Amino acid sequence: MSFFKKFLKPICILLVLIIYSLPCLADEITDSINEGLEYYKSGDFTSSVSSLRYATQLIQQKKGESLETILPEALPGWTSNPATSNAAAGEFFGGGLSAEKSYNKENSSISIQILADSPMMQGVMMMISNPMLVSSDGGKLKKIKNQKAVVRYNEMNKGGEIQIVVVNRFLVTISGNSVTEDELVEYAMAVNYLKLSRLP
């Protein structure tokens, strides 16, 4: 029982702090947290954990929706599909959550994905800080809107990707097929990194 108490109290405190850091949260989140607290007080720790996990998932969804707003509109001559976000998808990348949007022009395609709070960023940051690692797999370092970026482009295949780490929390990946390097850079330039850096 003491284990559950030690486990649940920090979760409750953390969820309350997150609630106040995110604007305009749905009442369902508050209701789920309050429900979890009531279960906790009554000694029903299993139901308490379930309610708090549900509230956490709702908060992750809300954060995912915030990420979607960072993804740019299609550039002139391109079309785009609606942005999507998925907290569960982050598990495949070691945790966190993701938002993604795809863009098309004739036979060309580009996608932009943003990962939040993913351990993958540690590896990318190490690579950015070591030019030898970047060049070893055909990449190059480039500044895009004052952000350090790793650019990999295959002229023969007309495809590549750009990776940018923002405030050590977000990994932005712009990848494309049947595109020029300039087109990849244009979409990298279209991302609002200042707004991204200010997300809670």
pLDDT tens for 141-198 read 899 999 989 999 999 999 999 999 899 889 999 999 999 999 999 999 999 999 999 9
Same-domain check for residues 118 and 77: yes
Same-domain check for residues 20 and 39: yes
Task: Determine the residue type at 126.
Answer: M
Considering the entire predicted model, what is its pTM?
Answer: 0.74
Same-domain check for residues 6 and 41: yes
User: Last residue of a domain, which of 18, 38, 67?
Assistant: 67
Contact status, residue 87 vs residue 47, Cβ threshold 8 Å:
no
pLDDT score, position 79: 98
Same-domain check for residues 62 and 80: no
CA distance 114 to 68: 9
Same-domain check for residues 63 and 80: no
CA distance 165 to 167: 7
* Segments forming the whole domain that contains residue 148: 73-197
